[in-house]
Amino acid sequence: MAVSDALMRGALERIGPTTIPIAQVGGIRGTAFLFNELLTRAPQQETVRTFLVTCRLLIENQQFLTVEVPPYRTSPPGVASREIVLHGLDGMWRVGDGGVAIGYFAHLEEHAASKGWAWDMTEVTDGIAIRADELDALDAVSCLVFGFAGEQAGREEIVFEAPLVRNAAGWEIPTAVPAGLVGGPVAIFKRNGEGQVVLKCLGLVLPGNERHPIATFDVIRALIASQARPSRRRRWPGPRRK
């Protein structure tokens, strides 16, 4: 499906604000994004827990990790530092098969609150994240990769349109993606059962050279499902803005 300017703008408004730039200290730079796992749903109320999602390569065997803080991802303006250096990653992150890593966003929320600011971001919701039955019927031939491009601090936020193919191992992007996008979310447009064009997050882009595998959301959900659910659940009355 060709991506029109209107569809591109809609995808940028929905998926773009879920992303933040992360980097190994003195190493590879990539992108992470927020995902809300839906725990319970009731009228006018949903209970969720929020994860940072990225690729395993960026996290595994690292003692420290840098989270770059774009000013437009925070409020009030001018209070947040330009970067946060995380340590003790074993307590925050979990890695699994399929090249995926997840982290508890609460750690970053608590850090921001202690410094007098808050994150101003949205999340990939459970409804946008593609499901296994949708993957089976998917016939997309192009995708959008969201993230922060570049190999230096102060990277540019971009969306990269790329071809998409299915092979025996799953879905992949059969071309190189700009440096810094590894770990970023991959979105597609598809038609639902009523023939309407809808936006779906396919998963995240994994490291590669001239070809980049995609860790699809069934892999991400499997890793999240392996984590114990909290005994006290945070209530979330509708769309949340911090």
Site of tokens 């064009």 = 197
User: How far apart, in Å, do the first and last CA atoms of the chain sit?
Assistant: 35
Please report the pLDDT score of residue 227 as a whole number: 78
DSSP 153: S
Query: Positive or negative, the Cα torsion across 100, 105, 111, 116?
Result: positive
Read off the pLDDT band of 3 (50, 70, 90): low
Residues of the chain above pLDDT 70, percent: 91
Read off the pLDDT band of 230 (50, 70, 90): low
Q: How far is residue 222's CA from residue 151's CA, in Å, rounded to a whole number?
A: 31
Q: How is the chain split into domains, by residue range?
A: 5-227
Answer yes or no: CATH 2.40.10.120 is held by domain 5-227. Answer: yes
Q: Tokens representing 58?
A: 């960026």
b/e string for 104-136 if b means 16 or more Cβ within 10 A? bbebbeebbeeeebbbbbbbbbbebbbeeebbe
Read off the pLDDT band of 173 (50, 70, 90): very high
pLDDT in tens, 61-120: 888 899 999 999 999 999 999 999 987 666 778 998 899 999 989 989 999 999 999 999
Residues of the chain above pLDDT 90, percent: 61
Per the CB < 8 A criterion, the answer to whether 226 and 236 are in contact is: no
What mean pLDDT is predicted for residues 198-220?
Answer: 95
Q: Considering the entire predicted model, what is its pTM?
A: 0.90
Q: Above 90 in pLDDT, residue 140?
A: no
Backbone angles phi, psi at 42, to 5 degrees: -140, 165
What mean pLDDT is predicted for residues 44-50?
Answer: 81
Closest CA to 70 of 59, 89, 84: 84
